[in-house]
Amino acid sequence: MANGVDASEHSDALVFFGATGDLAYKQIFPALYGLIRDEGLSLPIIGVAKAGWGLDQLKGRAADSVKAHGGDIKSEAFKKLLSLLRYVDGDYNDPKVFKQLRKELGDAKAPLHYLAIPPALFSVVASQLAKSGCADNARLVVEKPFGRDRRSANDLSRILDQYFSERNIFRIDHYLGKEPVQNILYTRFANSIYEPVWNRHFVRSIQITMAENFGVQDRGAFYDSAGAIRDVLQNHMLQILASLTMDPPTGQAHEAIRDRKASLLKAVRTLDSDDIVRGQYTGYEKVPGVKPGSTVETFAAAKLCIDSWRWEGVPIFIRTGKCLPVSIAEAVVQFKKPPRETFGEIDSLGCGHMRFRIQPDVTIAFGTRVKVPGERMIGEDVELILTRQPGVDKPPYQRLLGDAMEGISDLFTREDIVDAEWRIVNDVLGDVTPVYHYEPGTWGPSEAKQLIGRDGPWLDPKPV
């Protein structure tokens, strides 16, 4: 580890590797445009890529991206973005590229380098940054997936540690930048009524679903090297789980929340082959970039246990997939039925729930049983919507990039958290379990029903 930018120092240049790639197009340009428009961002922005491009092509790409994501390319903000933009083209193995980058950085004293490139290139870029002096007093933002499994993530950490201190490494999990994910934590700990029931005495089970009604689209080659477990379960879904089940943070220390998340994730039992069902939608093999006969999963359902006093014996089911019936992410905490049946009518296992919808709308709802008007003491399940808003928050990448430039690391994943996440899924990566086929537009293979068994049924999220 070489350097150490002061936590309170603002970055004074932003370098993004992979400037001509998909992530830059879909997320980085719109985020930079938003930061300039809403937050007055003004610093040199240097794109780096190996594409044989010049600055004008990159500007054209920025215009296409901002337009495609609802921005106004005639606005002052967009003109400002173009005026800040620089470009360096070349191979990441070539020291000349980094010499050129050092030149473009000019007087910048605290640059931020964003690696929007495949993880296999992280170490070469990090070492070139160091050799060329570009890593001095710098911050580093790295994209997920951070490694391919527990071992490679640890190897990667060791490599990055040689050049950057942990407090200057910002590992992105964009779900942490989502307002509704922060809302789960906020609602739990800004009120006192939830904590007394948030444990094995009152909670029967927890379900988290992240469903998408589209396939892998133009990301066949990337996706086929990853699969649903690496792509979203190991990161986004475990982060939602941690927000939902962690202990309340204590003290004022700036790391209090991440410490609690880390200890929760360290208590999640390692998954084994009986705890997981993998699926692949029919037609996946025809996606360009997918290998013929691929056994990569586009759906995964898992049963998790948390080895803690709070959660002992509470089954947790998480499920994610492409080509499911809807695009919705939500978590439901189901409460136990009363200890004694007073009205002789409830045959279900649960009674009441708390539901956190993460997208497309942001909803917190409370499910309870109420009496149906009439002479008989029979009831029905109703839901009280505590709050519902359309999902129109600040885009996560805008929030996260802004935070990283200010050295605020709360919404980034720490090394021990990434390690705990990989440890949970490590033994079920690859072909340890069979992959079952499912038809697009269904809730995955029927084997997922067997996984949940008597703790079910799966609660399929419904569009509003």
Describe the crossing of helices 150-163 and 415-425 by its angle, rounded to 10 degrees: 160
When the beta carbons of 182 and 263 are compared against ligand BG6, the nearer one is 182
Instruction: Restricting to residues 344-373, name those near ligand BG6 by CB under 6 A.
Output: 359
- Report, in Å, the least distance between residue 45 CB and ligand BG6: 23
E-assigned strand segments in 58-110: 85-89
Query: For residue 445, how many other CB atoms are within 10 A of its CB?
Result: 24
Asked if 297 is part of the footprint of ligand BG6 (rule: CB under 6 A), the reply reads no
Quote the CA–CA distance of 332 and 457 in Å, as a whole number.
Answer: 12
Cα 53 to Cα 19, 58, 60, 160, 382, distances in angstroms: 10, 7, 11, 28, 58
When the beta carbons of 143 and 259 are compared against ligand BG6, the nearer one is 143
Query: For residue 44, how many other CB atoms are within 10 A of its CB?
Result: 17
Instruction: Restricting to residues 271-290, name those near ligand BG6 by CB under 6 A.
Output: none
Asked if 143 is part of the footprint of ligand BG6 (rule: CB under 6 A), the reply reads no
Provide the mask over 28-67, with x wherever binding to ligand BG6 is found by CB under 6 A and - wherever it is not. ----------------------------------------
- Report, in Å, the least distance between residue 232 CB and ligand BG6: 5
Asked if 231 is part of the footprint of ligand BG6 (rule: CB under 6 A), the reply reads yes
Asked if 330 is part of the footprint of ligand BG6 (rule: CB under 6 A), the reply reads no
When the beta carbons of 340 and 462 are compared against ligand BG6, the nearer one is 462
Beta strand 139-142 with 45-49 is: unpaired
Full strand arrangement of the beta sheet holding 45-49: 85-89, 45-49, 13-17, 111-115, 139-142, 169-171
Catalytic residues: 236
What per-residue string of b and e applies to 125-157 under the rule 16 or more CB within 10 Å gives b?
bbbbbbebebbbbbbbbbbbbbbbbbeebeebb
- Report, in Å, the least distance between residue 454 CB and ligand BG6: 31
Asked if 232 is part of the footprint of ligand BG6 (rule: CB under 6 A), the reply reads yes
Quote the CA–CA distance of 235 and 224 in Å, as a whole number.
Answer: 17
Chain CA centroid to CA 60, Å: 29
Quote the CA–CA distance of 398 and 387 in Å, as a whole number.
Answer: 24
- Report, in Å, the least distance between residue 386 CB and ligand BG6: 22
Instruction: Restricting to residues 195-224, name those near ligand BG6 by CB under 6 A.
Output: 212
Please count the residues of this chain forming the interface with ligand BG6, following the rule CB under 6 A: 4
- Report, in Å, the least distance between residue 212 CB and ligand BG6: 6
Given the rule CB under 6 A, which residues bind ligand BG6? 212, 231-232, 359
